[in-house]
Structure 1
Amino acid sequence: MEKKQLWIVIAGLVLVNCLTIVFFLSGSGEAGSKIFAGEQETVAKIGKETISRQEWLTEMEERYGEDTLRDLIDQKVIIQMADDYGIKVSDSAIERELNMLKAMYGSGEAGNEEKWKQEIKYNLLLEELLTKDANVTEADMKNFYEQNQTLYDVPASYHLSQIVVKTKGEAEQTVKELKQGSSFSALAMERSIDEFSAQKGGDLGFINVEDDSYLQNIEELVKGMENGEWTDPVETESGYAILMVHEKLKGKKYSFEEVKGQIRRQIALEQMDRPVSARAFWSETKVDWFYEEKEKR
Structure 2
Amino acid sequence: MSKKALLVIIFSLVLTNCVTIAFLVSAYTREAQKEKNDEIVAKIGNSRITRQEWLNELENRFGKTTLEEMINIQVVDELAKKNHIDVDEKTVEREIQMYKISSQSYGDSVFNDKELRKQIRYSILLEELLTKDVNISENELKKFYEENKHQYIMNDTYHLSHIVVDSKKEVQQIINELKDGSSFEGIAAERSKDQLTAKEGGDLGYVSEGSSDVPPEYIEQAKTMKVNEWSGPIPLERGYAIIFLHEKIKGEQLEFDEVKDQIRRQIALEQMEGNVSAKQLWDDIGVTWFYEK
Tell me the TM-score normalised to structure 2 length. Answer: 0.82
Report if aligned partners of 1:41, 1:52 keep a CA contact under 8 Å in 2.
yes
SS of the residue 1:284 aligns to? helix
Report if aligned partners of 2:207, 2:213 keep a CA contact under 8 Å in 1.
no
SS of the residue 1:245 aligns to? strand
1:217 aligns with 2:189: no
Displacement of 1:185: 1.1
Q: Distance in 1 between matches of 2:120 and 2:237?
A: 37
Q: Distance in 2 between matches of 1:56 and 1:106?
A: 36
Which residue, out of 72, 75, 89, partners 2:73? 75
Which residue, out of 33, 40, 43, partners 1:42? 40
1:248 aligns with 2:248: yes
Count of residue pairs brought into register by the alignment: 256
Give the aligned residue type for 2:161. S
Q: Distance in 2 between matches of 1:275 and 1:149?
A: 27
Give the aligned residue type for 2:282. W
Report if aligned partners of 2:38, 2:52 keep a CA contact under 8 Å in 1.
no
Partner deviation per Cα, 1:43-74 (whole Å, 9 max, x = no partner)? 12223322111111111111111111111111
Q: Distance in 1 between matches of 2:181 and 2:57?
A: 43
Pairwise mapping of residues 120-139 of structure 1 onto structure 2 (< 5 A)?
120-139=120-139
Gaps of 5+ in 1: 1-37
In the other structure, the counterpart of 1:53 is: 51
Pairwise mapping of residues 139-288 of structure 1 onto structure 2 (< 5 A)?
139-288=139-288
Query: Per residue, is there more helix in 1 or in 2?
Result: 2
Change (3 A) 1:210 1:57: same
Displacement of 1:101: 1.0
Report if aligned partners of 1:103, 1:207 keep a CA contact under 8 Å in 2.
yes
Q: Distance in 2 between matches of 1:177 and 1:284?
A: 59
Q: Distance in 2 between matches of 1:172 and 1:193?
A: 16
Give the aligned residue type for 2:80. A
SS of the residue 1:206 aligns to? strand
In the other structure, the counterpart of 1:15 is: none
Which residue, out of 99, 103, 106, partners 1:105? 103
Q: Distance in 1 between matches of 2:37 and 2:172?
A: 50
In the other structure, the counterpart of 1:117 is: 117
Give the aligned residue type for 1:115. E
Displacement of 1:248: 0.7
Give the aligned residue type for 2:189. M
Change (3 A) 1:40 1:272: closer
SS of the residue 2:284 aligns to? coil
Gaps of 5+ in 2: 1-35
Report if aligned partners of 1:126, 1:276 keep a CA contact under 8 Å in 2.
no
Give the aligned residue type for 1:164. V
Report if aligned partners of 1:209, 1:219 keep a CA contact under 8 Å in 2.
yes
Give the aligned residue type for 1:160. L
Displacement of 1:169: 2.0
1:94 aligns with 2:98: no
Displacement of 1:189: 1.1
Displacement of 1:87: 0.6
SS of the residue 2:219 aligns to? helix
Report if aligned partners of 2:75, 2:278 keep a CA contact under 8 Å in 1.
yes
